[in-house]
């Protein structure tokens, strides 16, 4: 499968932003905590969601789609084993640790896979869950965990890990006593997970803050919930407009979750209008690009938009630096951007980008989700026809990136080989 992109087209029009990948996956995992039917609206039809649903079916759940609504019946949950076939396809399979321990007392998960962007160890997950009463047996092939009972703890995380925060929350909602998480992750997806769990009867407070409180309950109930729109997809399309120029409306409920991205976009000369319906972006011509960006936990600059911004920096006409503070291997896209004429030098966790006025077309390969999206953007910025191959990585997180961009007047074609 290939995307063929003919670049240098100004974008215009409007597009609806899909449901959030990073919110949907932990929420689907958390559905295991209640016995009954969980109904999730605005669920994105992406490869990672299909993989998570395959895991839930393997564990004994029943799944049914109706448009962008997915219904998950957890009554038949009988297994705690997540085979390598499913776990190796995505990192988010580790999110099943907390729910399985909370619901049936054990979890046997093959080592999670996902994008090759860094080590992403589970040591913080393991440390916290051990304190809650969980026994671990770790092998080269799998993570096995079991408990007699879970109890609340007070814990200060060494790093505000999103995955660890989510797993601790999901384990704590059915634990005895109160759990207090210091230095908790504050990403909007944490708030979405807490809102979902509260709709099931969980007692959670102070989410979105550095200190989070969970009071354990005896039982959670079935529920109906709407997945929020995807702030990273909105940020990707916003970056596309900054590089191509044009005027677009990005329809979605996540404009308040873009953090420092909005002021950064304004620095480039974009005229931005945010409201409850979405984000209007008018980019007549680039005036100035930020000289330095450092990725950081929310509300800092998101690591998921680091690669798209490398593509943008490559046509900035100035020297820019990108420092990656979250994942140590997230510069793999640089080699592909260099095929398109980008001038980038890597020094440790910092990329020096010597921006040009344009990129040249090339045949490039996506090696990870966000890096693949960055190559699509580079194709939009380049003169001539670019081919982006191995696009299954991109389809793990973007439901219809080609259709969305065509709706914004981009010249992009999906080729099924």
Answer yes or no: 347 catalytic.
Answer: no
Name the catalytic one among 115, 194, 254, 320. Answer: 115
Q: Give the helix/strand (H/E) hosting 5.
A: strand 2-6
Q: Roughly how many angstroms between the first and final C-alpha of the chain, as a whole number?
A: 5
Q: Whole-angstrom Cα distance, residue 133 to residue 109? A: 18
- Which residues neighbour 359 within 8 Å (Cβ) at sequence distance 6 or greater? 7, 311, 314, 315, 337, 340, 341, 342, 378, 381, 382, 383
Burial of 67 (0-12, 13-18, 19+ CB in 10 A): exposed
Q: Which structure tokens are listed for 315?
A: 């046509």
Q: Give the helix/strand (H/E) hosting 152.
A: none
> What SS3 class is residue 78?
coil
On whether the CB atoms of residues 134 and 101 are closer than 8 A, the answer is yes
Residue with structure tokens 């634990």? 175
Q: How far is CA 338 from the centre of its chain?
A: 26
On whether the CB atoms of residues 336 and 307 are closer than 8 A, the answer is no
Q: Whole-angstrom Cα distance, residue 174 to residue 165? A: 15
Q: Whole-angstrom Cα distance, residue 27 to residue 166? A: 10
The set of catalytic residues is: 115
């Amino acid at each position: 499968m290939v995307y063929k992109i003919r670049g240098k087209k100004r974008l215009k029009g409007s597009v609806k932003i899909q449901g959030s990948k990073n919110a949907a996956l932990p929420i689907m995992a958390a559905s295991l905590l209640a016995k009954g039917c969980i109904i999730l609206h605005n669920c994105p039809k992406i490869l990672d969601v299909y993989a998570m649903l395959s895991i839930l079916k393997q564990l004994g759940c029943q799944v049914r789609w109706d448009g962008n609504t997915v219904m998950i019946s957890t009554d038949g949950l009988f297994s705690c084993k997540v085979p390598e076939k499913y776990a190796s396809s995505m990192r988010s399979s580790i999110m099943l640790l907390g729910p399985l321990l909370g619901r049936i007392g054990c979890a046997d998960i093959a080592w999670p896979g996902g994008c090759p962007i860094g080590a992403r160890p589970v040591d913080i997950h393991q440390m916290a869950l051990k304190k809650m009463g969980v026994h671990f047996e770790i092998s080269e092939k799998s993570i096995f965990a079991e408990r007699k009972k879970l109890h609340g703890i007070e814990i200060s995380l060494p790093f505000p890990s999103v995955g660890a925060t989510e797993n601790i929350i999901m384990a704590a909602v059915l634990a005895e006593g109160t759990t207090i998480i210091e230095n908790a992750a504050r990403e909007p997806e944490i708030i979405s997970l807490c809102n979902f769990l509260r709709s099931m009867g969980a007692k959670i407070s102070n989410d979105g803050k550095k200190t989070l409180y969970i009071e354990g309950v005896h039982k959670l109930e079935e529920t109906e919930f709407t997945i929020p729109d995807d702030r990273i997809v909105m940020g990707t399309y916003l970056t596309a407009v900054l590089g191509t120029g044009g005027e677009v409306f990005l329809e979605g409920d996540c404009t308040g979750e873009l953090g420092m991205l909005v002021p950064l976009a304004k620095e480039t000369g974009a005229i931005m209008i945010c409201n409850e319906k979405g984000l209007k972006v008018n980019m007549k011509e680039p005036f100035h690009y930020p000289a330095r960006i450092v990725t950081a936990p929310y509300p800092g600059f998101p690591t998921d938009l680091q690669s798209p911004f490398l593509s943008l920096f490559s046509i900035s006409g100035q020297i820019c630096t990108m420092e990656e503070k979250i994942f140590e291997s997230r510069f793999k896209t640089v080699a592909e951007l260099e095929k398109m004429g980008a001038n980038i030098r890597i020094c440790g966790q910092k990329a020096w980008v010597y921006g040009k006025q344009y990129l040249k077309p090339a045949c490039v390969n996506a090696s990870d989700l966000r890096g693949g999206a960055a190559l699509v953007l580079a194709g939009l910025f380049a003169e001539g026809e670019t081919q982006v191959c191995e696009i299954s990585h991109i389809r793990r997180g973007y439901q219809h990136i080609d259709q969305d961009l065509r709706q914004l007047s981009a010249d992009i074609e999906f080729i099924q080989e």
